[in-house]
Amino acid sequence: MKSRKMPRLAINVAALAIASVYPLVSLAEDAASKEKAVPTTVNKAESAPAELTEVTVNAKVESKADGYQATKTRVGKVLQDPHDIPQAITTVTRSLMEDQQVSSLRDALRNVSGLTFNAAEGGRGGDNFNLRGFYTFGDIYLDGVRDTAQYYRETFNLEQVDVLRGSAAMLFGRGQAGGVINQVTKMAELQDSNSVTGSLGNMDYHQVTGDFNKKLAETTAIRINVMDRSEQTYRQNPATGDRPENDRQGIALSLGTGIGTNNEFFLNHVYTKTRDVPDYGISFVNKTPINTPALNDKTFWGTARNFDDSETQITTGIFTHKFTEDTQLRTQIRHAEYDRGYWAQTPRTIAPTATGTGGSNGNTTRTSNYKTDTIQTDFSTKFDISGMKNQFLAGLEYLKEDSQRNSLQAFNARTGASYGALSGAALNTAIATDGVFYDRDIASSTAVPAKFTADNYALYMQDSIEFLKNWDLLVGVRRDEMRAEYSSTTSPKLNYGENSYRTGLSWHQTEDSHYYVSYSDSFSPTADLYQLTVAPLPPERSKTVEVGAKWLFLDGDFSFRTALYRTTKDWERNTDLEATAAILTKKRRTDGLEFEAAGNLTDNWDVFGGLAFMDAKILEAAQNISTGGTGQGPVGSIYSADTRFNGQRARNTPNMTFNMWTTYKIAGNWKIGGGFESKGERSGYQPSAVDGSSNFVNGSFQPNMLPGYTRWDAMASYEAKAWAVRLNVKNLFDKVYYDSIYDNGGFSVPGNGRQAIITTEYKF
C-alpha cells in the first residue's frame, strides 16, 4: 500500500473542500512507477470480415511500485533507468521515506552513504551537507533546476530524492565535487486518489499531511499536497526551560493537462514556511564536545525568543512536446523567491542565562532575500548512424539571480531602544547588562548589505553511442558563462566562461549487468558562493574518475552496485560567509569505495543499505590573498596556510559510513522493520589558518573531533486497504551522538534523543 501526506495547514478550507468533491476510489498506485500513456493502434472489429477501421487509444501500462528500488530517474536530464547510467546514483524513494517517517530532506539523506551533515556555517544556516568529503552547497536541485538558497527543505511534496555522485557540471553547470542532490516533485496524475495522515509523538511531535489528486478531464488532473509539522528536541536551556523547535508548514499544487499526449504541460507551485527556534549546538573543550555535570549535550544556549523564519515560493511551468516516441523537447520555466531571517545564540563554555545573552559574540543574525528566474530547455532523440545506436541530448539554460543579505538590527531587551550607535566592546557590554532582541524584518542600520546580481548562460550537448553490441560510449560537453555584479568595493564584477566534460564507457554484459568507467569534472568561480577574494583567484575545479558495476537480481527486483573512485579538487572554496580566507585548500583528494543494495529479496522482504569508505586528505595547503592580518604579509600579497595541514584528513569526513534499513511483511497486513545509521569519527578545524598550532599536540594532529556513532531505528505497521497505522521509534536506544559539526571546529549539534511517533493514515 502507498501512503501519501497531508498537512494541518488550511485543512478546514482546502482539505475538506477538495475531499467533498472527490468520489471514493481504491488506493492509487505510486506515481513514480507508472508509465506514461502511449499511442497504441488496435482493430475496432478484429473478427469482422468487413473493412477494418483503425482507431487510436491511450494504453496505460500498470506496473509494480518501486518500493525501495528506483527504476526511473531524470537526474541525467532524460528519463532513464538508473541501472543504465555510467555513474553512481542513490535514490531515496517515497516508500522508504514513508516507512521511516521522514519529513525533511535532511532526514531522507541519512540513507545516503558517504554523506555527513554540517552545522550552520557562518551565515549559511539551512540544509548543508558533505558528500564524498566535499560540501554540496550549490548542488541542491528541484526537478533539475538550481535550488541553492539557504533554507530547510521538507519532503511532503517529493516523489523521490536522487543523488548523482561525483562531479556533474556538464549536466548541471557550476558545482562541486561530491555530487548533485535532486529533489523530484510529486506531479498530477490521471486518477482519483487521496490520503491524509496524522502523527503524534513525544518531544511535542505532531504532523498532519495530505495528498489529494483529482482527474478533471481525459488528460487533465490536479494534485494538492499540504503539511504542518512541529517538534522539539531533548535539549533545554536550564535558565529558561526553552528548547529548540521546528515549526513548518507547506502547500503545493500541480496542475497537468495533455498528460500522456504529445503536448504535455504542468504548472507546479510550492510554498513552505518555517518558524523554528534554531539550535547552534555545543562548544568543544579539550578537543571534544563539552561534557560536564552542568554543561553537556543536554544544554541549549538559545531561548524561545530566537527565531529562524523563512518563506519559500517556487513556481514552475514544464512543457514537453513529443515529435515521436524517441524525440522530444522539454522546457522548464521557473520563478523562485527565498526570504529568510534568523537570530540564533551561539554556544559558549559558560552557562546559559535567562536572557540568553551571557558572554560576548553570542548572537548570530541574518536577513536575506534571494530571487531566481530560470529557463531550461532540453532536446533529446534517438537515431542510428551506420548501425550504431545514438541517444543524443542538447540543451540551453539561462539563470538570473538577485540576492541581498545583511545582519539584523540589535535592540535593548529592557527598553526597546536601538543599539544601532554601539559596536564592538560597547555593544557587548550593553547586551550583557540589558539583554538584546532582534526583529526578522529590521536590518542593521549601520552594516553594509551584501548584494549581487548575476546572469548565467549555458549550452550543453551529450551523446551516448552503442559502437559495438552491448558497448556504449558517453561523451558530453558544456559551456557556462556568468556575468555578475557585486556590492564589494574590491571586486565589484565577475565575468567568466568555463567548459565542463563528461564521458563514460559502459559494457552491458547482460541486461542485468552493467560495468563502466567514467570521468566527469566541475568548476565553481571565485564568487559562486557570493564571497569575493581581495583579487581574482583561479576557479575551483574538481575531477572525478570512477570505475563501477551495477547488477540486477531476482528478475530485476533487487539491485546491487559498487563504485571505486578518485576525486581531486583544486582551489577549494570556503562555505563560511564570515571567513576572510576564501580558499580552504589549494588541492585535496578523496579516494573512495562504495557498496549499495536496494529492492525486494522476497515479495515480503525489502532492503535498502549503503557502505562507503573514504580516504580524504589535504594534498596542498591553501593560498590566499592577504588582507593584512597576522602572519599574512603585506595587503594584496599571496600567503600560504600552515603546511602541517598537508596530508591530514579532510574535515567532517569519516573513514566509513554504513546505513541499513529493512522491513518484512508478516501475517498479511502487518509489517515490521528497522535499521541503523553509522558514521566514523569526524574532525573540525580551519585548514586555511596561517598558524595551525592549536590543532597539533606534540607534533600529532589533534583537531576538535566528534566520536563515531551508530543510531538504531525501528518501525511496525498495520496496513489495510483504506487505512493504516504505523509506529516509528527513532534513536531506539537513546544514543547520545553528534549529528553535525561546524567545519571550522567551533561547535557541534547533538542528534535528537529517543522519539516514538505513531501515525494513522486514511485513504479514499
pTM tops 0.95 = no
Between residues 16 and 75, the one the model is more confident about: 75
Report whether pLDDT(28) > 90: no
How sure is the predictor about 208, in pLDDT bands with cuts at 50, 70 and 90? very high
Report whether pLDDT(430) > 70: yes
How sure is the predictor about 7, in pLDDT bands with cuts at 50, 70 and 90? very low
Q: pLDDT value at position 645?
A: 97
Report whether pLDDT(144) > 60: yes
Q: pLDDT value at position 632?
A: 87
Q: Which CATH code, of 3.40.630.10, 3.30.2130.10, 2.170.130.10, 3.40.225.10, is assigned to 11-87+95-99+120-185?
A: 2.170.130.10
The pLDDT tens digits for 568-579 are: 999 998 876 666
The pLDDT tens digits for 52-110 are: 444 444 433 333 446 999 999 999 999 999 999 999 999 999 999 999 999 999 999 99
Give dist(CA 19, CA 10) in Å, integer: 13
Give dist(CA 482, CA 249) in Å, integer: 35
Percentage with pLDDT > 90 across the chain: 74
Q: pLDDT value at position 683?
A: 96
Query: What cell was used for 357?
Result: 545573552
Gyration radius from the chain CA atoms: 26
First to last CA, the chain: 13
Report whether pLDDT(476) > 80: yes
Q: What is the mean pLDDT of the chain?
A: 88
Report whether pLDDT(361) > 80: no
Q: pLDDT value at position 530?
A: 64
Is the alpha carbon torsion for 40, 78, 660, 141 positive or negative?
negative
Q: pLDDT value at position 626?
A: 87
Can you spell out the DSSP letters for 190-212? SS-EEEEEEEEETTTEEEEEEEE
Q: pLDDT value at position 471?
A: 98
Is the alpha carbon torsion for 524, 527, 532, 534 positive or negative?
positive
How sure is the predictor about 582, in pLDDT bands with cuts at 50, 70 and 90? confident
Q: pLDDT value at position 424?
A: 76
Residue at grid coordinates 518558524: 275
Report whether pLDDT(462) > 80: yes
How sure is the predictor about 432, in pLDDT bands with cuts at 50, 70 and 90? confident
Name the burial class of residue 432, with classes exposed (0-12), middle (13-18) and buried (19+) by CB atoms within 10 angstroms of its CB. middle
The pLDDT tens digits for 33-47 are: 333 343 444 343 343
Q: pLDDT value at position 745?
A: 87
How sure is the predictor about 628, in pLDDT bands with cuts at 50, 70 and 90? confident
Q: pLDDT value at position 150?
A: 87
Q: Which residues pair with 375 in a beta bridge?
A: 333, 398
In the chain, residues under CATH classification 2.170.130.10 are 11-87+95-99+120-185
The answer to whether 113 touches 658, Cβ cutoff 8 Å, is yes
Class of domain 89-94+100-104+107-119+187-407+447-763: mainly beta
Q: pLDDT value at position 57?
A: 40
Report whether pLDDT(356) > 50: yes
In the chain, residues under CATH classification 2.40.170.20 are 89-94+100-104+107-119+187-407+447-763
Give dist(CA 732, CA 712) in Å, integer: 5
How sure is the predictor about 647, in pLDDT bands with cuts at 50, 70 and 90? very high
